[in-house]
Amino acid sequence: MGRLPLLRATITETLRLRPPAPLALPHCTRRHTSVGGVPVPAGSIVIPNLFAAHHDPETWHRPDEFLPERFLEPGAPWRALVPFGCGARSCLGEALARAELFVFLGHILHHFRLEPPVPGALPKLGVTAGTVLRCPPFCVRLVPCHPPESSWPPLFPIGHQSL
Ligand code: HEM
């Protein structure tokens, strides 16, 4: 898992519990095939249900709970984790998306403590289904972990910018 394994596990568990694109993209079969023994005629529209795959109780222990540590333990069902789809038409932006999640979340957590505006009032985990999952608006307090003077240099170097 490399460096910061808990951060990586947290990102992975977030993508499992709430896959941003829960039904991936529709695909059309070009020839007769089968999925898990079920025949699929040519010309069928196939919609992969990634959300269901990520909540299958036969694969995932306590599937509805947020448990990042499941990805730190040996034997985690990695093959069943498909937030970016799978196969020849899986997400082209996966590496970029993963890098962005790692860098941005890592920096935020390094510099701030995240707290609910009212102690104990955590955001609801409910989502609206659609092409992408959407959560209802929520508020969060970002409390700096370090005194202001130690916030320099900034998170990202700002030199060498041309207008
Ligand atoms: C967390 C962020 C993202 C998630 C969860 C995500 C997820 C997905 C999923 C599930 C698919 C459909 C795969 C399938 O049909 O089997 C897809 C397709 C695609 N994604 Fe992403 N994506 C993300 C970010 C990005 C970014 C940042 C880019 C581009 C920079 C991107 C570009 C694409 C493209 C071009 C396709 C179509 C691939 C094809 O049909 O061959 N995605 N993505």
pLDDT, average across residues 52-62: 97
- According to DSSP, the residues that pair with 114 across neighbouring strands are 142
pLDDT at 125: 81
Query: Does 91 appear as a known binding residue?
Result: yes
CB 22 within 8 A of CB 84: no
Question: Which element (helix H / strand E) includes 35?
Answer: strand 33-35
How far is Cα 71 from Cα 75, in angstroms, rounded to an integer? Answer: 9
The pTM score is 0.88
Band (pLDDT 50/70/90 cuts) for residue 36 is confident
**Whether the CB of 20 sits within 6 Å of ligand 1:** yes
Instruction: Work out which ligand 1 atom sits closest to the CA atom of 26.
Output: 15
Backbone φ, ψ for residue 141 (5° rounding): -95, 130
DSSP-based three-state secondary structure for 128: strand
Q: What angle do CA 68, 69, 75 make, to 5 degrees?
A: 115
- Spell out the residues 6+ positions from residue 8 whose beta carbon is closer than 8 angstroms to its own: 1, 2, 71, 102
Q: How far is the CA of 97 from the centre of ligand 1 (A)?
A: 9
Q: What is the pLDDT of residues 70-118, one digit of tens each?
A: 999 999 999 999 999 999 999 999 999 999 999 999 999 999 999 999 9
Residue 163 clears pLDDT 80, i.e. is over it: no
pLDDT at 67: 97
ipTM exceeds 0.90, yes or no: yes
How far is Cα 101 from Cα 11, in angstroms, rounded to an integer? Answer: 7
**Whether the CB of 89 sits within 6 Å of ligand 1:** yes
